[in-house]
Amino acid sequence: MLSNLLKEHQNEIHKYKEDCNKKKLEAIEASKNLVSTIVDNVNESVARAYINQKQIENASKKLQIQINQYIKNTNQWLSLMENFHKSLKEIGDIENWSISIEKDLQFISEKLESKLGPSQTSDKE
């Protein structure tokens, strides 16, 4: 009887150890699955962030190129406007000069007419 009890006890211990080992293996497998799932989620988020970062970098490079082109175009327009402004000033200066010359010539003409008389100046015309 004692030997039967010992055998039963040893069988129960053996079953308990097998059950513990089985549950240990299941826990290890579940842990592996959990870690794999967590790593996959983290990697997916990191990959998405990396892709977004690359897109932002590309967009910022394109924007910088467009800004440089805009600056170049703006400088060209400013140069054209400055040249146009200078030309307008020159035209105004020429107009003032021609008005001044015209007044001087009228003054000279009037003086000549007053000294020579109107009949002498009309003969020469």
Indicate if the pLDDT at residue 38 is higher than 60.
Answer: yes
Least confident span in 19-28, 50-59, 88-97, 104-113: 88-97
pLDDT score, position 27: 93
Higher pLDDT, 41 or 77: 77
Indicate if the pLDDT at residue 73 is higher than 90.
Answer: yes
The string over 14-44, giving b where at least 16 C-beta atoms fall within 10 Å of a residue's C-beta and e elsewhere, is eeeeeeeeeeeeeeeeeeeeeeeeeeeeeee
Average pLDDT on 51-64 reads 97
Least confident span in 49-58, 61-70, 107-116: 107-116
How far apart, in whole angstroms, are the C-alpha atoms of residue 86 and residue 94?
A: 12
pLDDT score, position 69: 97
Contact 121, 113 (CB under 8 A): yes
Query: What digits encode the pLDDT tens for the residues 97-119?
Result: 888 889 999 999 888 888 876 65
Contact 121, 112 (CB under 8 A): yes
Indicate if the pLDDT at residue 77 is higher than 90.
Answer: yes
- Does this model's pTM top 0.85? no
Domain ranges for the chain, please list them. Answer: 2-116
pLDDT score, position 41: 87
How far apart, in whole angstroms, are the C-alpha atoms of residue 10 and residue 42?
A: 47
